[in-house]
Amino acid sequence: MDEYFKNQVAVVTGAGGTLCSEIAVDLACRGARVVLIGRTAGKLQSVADRITGNGGTCLIRPGDVTDEGAMKEIATELQKTWGACRFLINGAGGNNAGAITTNTAFEPSELDAERPAGSVGFFDLDLECFETVLHINTLGTVIPCRTFGRTMAEAGRGAIVNFASMNSYRPLTRVPAYAMSKAAIVNFTSFLAAYLAPAGIRVNAVAPGFFVNERSRKILCTPEGGLTRRGENVISHTPQKRFGEARELLGCVEWLLNDEAAAFVTGVTVPVDGGFLTSVGI
Ligand SMILES: NC(=O)c1ccc[n+]([C@@H]2O[C@H](COP(=O)([O-])OP(=O)(O)OC[C@H]3O[C@@H](n4cnc5c(N)ncnc54)[C@H](OP(=O)(O)O)[C@@H]3O)[C@@H](O)[C@H]2O)c1
């Protein structure tokens, strides 16, 4: 139990996922009352089982973070039962296969009527999928900041942690929509930090390096447990020569949420990346 987090209300979106499930469990272990948000109730239930198994307190609230009505409903209900949200972790996000190219750079064959099977270039990307990725990763953060942030503003205090990415700094190949949306998170985090400072709310972000999740496992790892070419490329550009473990984000998130330890820290995005950003790789 941690006196700082004890009984405080923490809303975690994407709580059924690889990274935020660990964050939700950690905050609950520290005594926070945690609200688990995601679209799939089953994923949230497994996290809730871990929390209650440890003697922690949580609520499951299945919902889509891009649905402002649904988020408002949760915020209003919380306000009446548990009180104002004190901590908001905006972990919901992701990519979509239709918004990913197979080519890492333009190939003249992209212009041919007879295209090589399975090859997807920038000109082929499905615009609807592209938009979905932008929507989930940007408005999916903006909307919880509005709904839960409002209750923080009413209470005169709160801390928000958003999720950026290595793509926020320089786009990786093949994932233009994801990269664009994660760049926007850094910008929005700075905007909101400046805007909400008078309300007593700090807004920061973490930028995880490469942590294997369900989706990225297929991209980074072979079925035999080795590395794909992209996986090898990532490791060779990561000075610590490995992927991150979800628990390695906890210290940074706890620090950013803590109004004492991080009292004068707002508007920053902190990389937790095994040195990926510092390395030119040459
Ligand atoms: N893993 C990495 O290496 C890495 C690196 C940099 C940044 N990130 C970012 O860190 C965050 C967490 O990543 P992760 O690896 O834990 O991913 P993950 O395992 O895919 O978890 C993301 C969670 O977000 C939920 N979600 C997606 N869209 C949603 C929506 N519209 N409404 C509500 N929930 C939604 C998903 O659950 P449902 O589908 O059930 O809704 C999923 O459980 C994401 O923002 C990701 O972009 C991850």
Q: Mapped to the 3 state alphabet, what secondary structure does 233-270 carry?
A: HHHHCCCCCCCECHHHHHHHHHHHHCCCCCCCCCCCEE
Nearest-atom index, ligand 1, CA of 178: 47
Residue closest to 98 by CA, chosen among 20, 35, 26, 177: 177
Cβ–ligand 1 distance for 94 under 6 Å, the answer: yes
What's the confidence (pLDDT) of residue 2? 85
What's the confidence (pLDDT) of residue 220? 94
Cβ–ligand 1 distance for 19 under 6 Å, the answer: yes
In a domain, 237, yes or no: no
The tokens describing 179, both together, are 């990269």
In a domain, 223, yes or no: no
Cβ–ligand 1 distance for 243 under 6 Å, the answer: no
In a domain, 134, yes or no: yes
In a domain, 252, yes or no: yes
What's the confidence (pLDDT) of residue 106? 96
What separation in Å is there between the alpha carbon of 108 and the centre of ligand 1? 34
In a domain, 73, yes or no: yes
In a domain, 103, yes or no: yes
CA distance 272 to 264: 20
Distances (CA, A) of 269 to 27, 39, 182, 183, 190: 20, 26, 11, 11, 9
Distances (CA, A) of 127 to 122, 140, 227, 266: 10, 18, 30, 35
What pLDDT digit, counting tens, does each position of 160-180 carry? 999 999 999 999 999 999 999
Distances (CA, A) of 197 to 86, 207, 250, 272: 15, 21, 24, 25
CA distance 125 to 174: 10
Facing residues of 208 across strands?
272
What's the confidence (pLDDT) of residue 56? 98
Residue closest to 136 by CA, chosen among 175, 92, 188: 92
Residue 211 contacts residue 19 (beta carbons within 8 Å): yes
Q: Which residue has the tokens 């400072």?
A: 197
In a domain, 86, yes or no: yes
The tokens describing 86, both together, are 């004190």
Alpha carbon distance, N-terminus to C-terminus of the chain = 45
What separation in Å is there between the alpha carbon of 100 and the centre of ligand 1? 16
pLDDT (tens, 9 = 90+) of the chain, 282 residues, equals 788 899 999 999 999 999 999 999 999 999 999 999 999 999 999 999 999 999 999 999 999 999 999 999 999 999 999 999 999 999 999 999 999 999 999 999 989 988 888 899 999 999 999 999 999 999 999 999 999 999 999 999 999 999 999 999 999 999 999 999 999 999 999 999 999 999 999 999 999 999 998 888 988 999 999 999 999 999 999 999 999 999 999 999 999 999 999 999 999 999 999 999 998 877
Residue closest to 230 by CA, chosen among 100, 110, 136: 100
How many contiguous H segments (helices) and E segments (strands) does the chain have? Answer: 9, 7
Instruction: Give the domain extent around 147.
Output: 9-213+247-272
Q: Of all protein residues, whose CA lies closest to atom 18 belonging to ligand 1?
A: 17
Residue-averaged pLDDT of the chain: 96
What's the confidence (pLDDT) of residue 282? 78
What's the confidence (pLDDT) of residue 147? 98
What separation in Å is there between the alpha carbon of 115 and the centre of ligand 1? 33
Distances (CA, A) of 115 to 94, 112, 119, 158, 173: 28, 6, 7, 53, 21
Nearest-atom index, ligand 1, CA of 39: 41
Residue closest to 45 by CA, chosen among 73, 24, 66, 64: 24
Would you call 139 helix, strand, or coil by DSSP? Answer: helix
Which of 21, 39, 137 to probe ligand 1 with, by most ligand atoms within 8 A of CB?
39
Known catalytic residue at 195: no
Nearest-atom index, ligand 1, CA of 93: 45
* CATH code for the domain of 185: 3.40.50.720
What's the confidence (pLDDT) of residue 6? 96
Cβ–ligand 1 distance for 230 under 6 Å, the answer: no
Name the DSSP letter for residue 138: I
Residue 275 contacts residue 239 (beta carbons within 8 Å): yes
Which of 11, 13, 18 to probe ligand 1 with, by most ligand atoms within 8 A of CB?
18
In a domain, 231, yes or no: no
For the chain, the domain total comes to 1
Which of 19, 26, 36 to probe ligand 1 with, by most ligand atoms within 8 A of CB?
19
